Chains A and B, each alone.
Chain A
């Protein structure tokens, strides 16, 4: 029954009653959505697991500062994406002198992924997405998979709505071009 508590009720319990119990409810409510968003950015499950756990710890540590005038999941999602981007930055530093780029390593990881649940066409679509520049890839995932509005993406990535629309349009064109090959 508690699983269906709304965000405000969970927040109230976090602040007044039992924070650990309330946070546990919050994790159970949103863990799959957060996992899916991070996984599409990082591809690899182990990396996703590390970043998701760090994200949830940060959420716990900062939940007191959350202002109720915005959506709780948007706030959590933003922390998750920031953590994922921070993880990518660190990884890219490791690949500076490598013969393989970080993006190519993600494609290899995708091809070898035993947890990938899709056909060849789905795999090719993911490869096409991985070929996009990082920001275009992020915009595409946010719009196409996570169904975010341009306003929300604009606030998160500090980019104008016009630039985001153009970015998404270019991303779709590139993906379709890649899918037509072969």
Chain B
């Protein structure tokens, strides 16, 4: 009948001889190695701040450019150009919105007027001519 209290409480695990004499130095070496890693940054890490600077100046230049356009009047000219563009576009749309029926009706009116003009004159000339060949020809 074994109870836990019957067993002497002791730590049965031991370390190899001399282990605790060498451990502090081993840890110190590892810490130094970690510090070396921290000191030697990678290529991108070195480049990163320069990229940030470049991005910042490009952004700044862009903002200044827009600001200059607004305050020197270029922006107003740009607005006029835009208005002109709008007018052309609206005219184009108006033309585009003419229905096909309207176009056909306009064309057919022109044709019928021409036909009427021609038909009256031609008809008189036709009725008064002696040569019936054309009549025969048309038959």
Contacts and interface: CB of A to CB of B under 8 A. Distances in A.
B12 A117 contact: yes
7 contacts: A27-B24, A115-B13, A117-B14, A118-B10, A126-B12, A144-B9, A175-B4
Contacts of A125: 4, 7
A31 B20 contact: yes
A125 B24 CA distance: 32
B13 A39 contact: yes
A123 B57 CA distance: 71
Interface in B1-27: 1-4, 7, 9-16, 19-20, 23-24, 26-27
A121 B8 CA distance: 10
A35 B15 contact: yes
A153 B1 CA distance: 30
A45 B27 contact: no
B70 interface: no
B100 interface: no
A171 B67 CA distance: 76
Given A45-B15, A115-B14, A122-B12, A31 B23 contact: yes
Contacts of B15: 32, 35, 39, 45, 115
Interface of A: 20, 23-24, 27-28, 31-32, 35-36, 39-40, 43, 45, 49, 52-53, 56-57, 60-61, 113, 115-118, 121-123, 125-126, 144-145, 172, 175-176, 179-180
A20 B7 CA distance: 42
Interface stretch (B28-36, B58-66, B84-92): B28-36
A60 B24 CA distance: 12
A60 B31 CA distance: 8
Given A24-B24, A57-B31, A60-B31, A117 B2 contact: no
Contacts of A61: 34
Given A24-B24, A31-B24, A56-B27, A180 B1 contact: yes
Contacts of A117: 12-14
Contacts of A113: 13
A145 B30 CA distance: 30
A56 B31 CA distance: 9
B12 A118 contact: yes
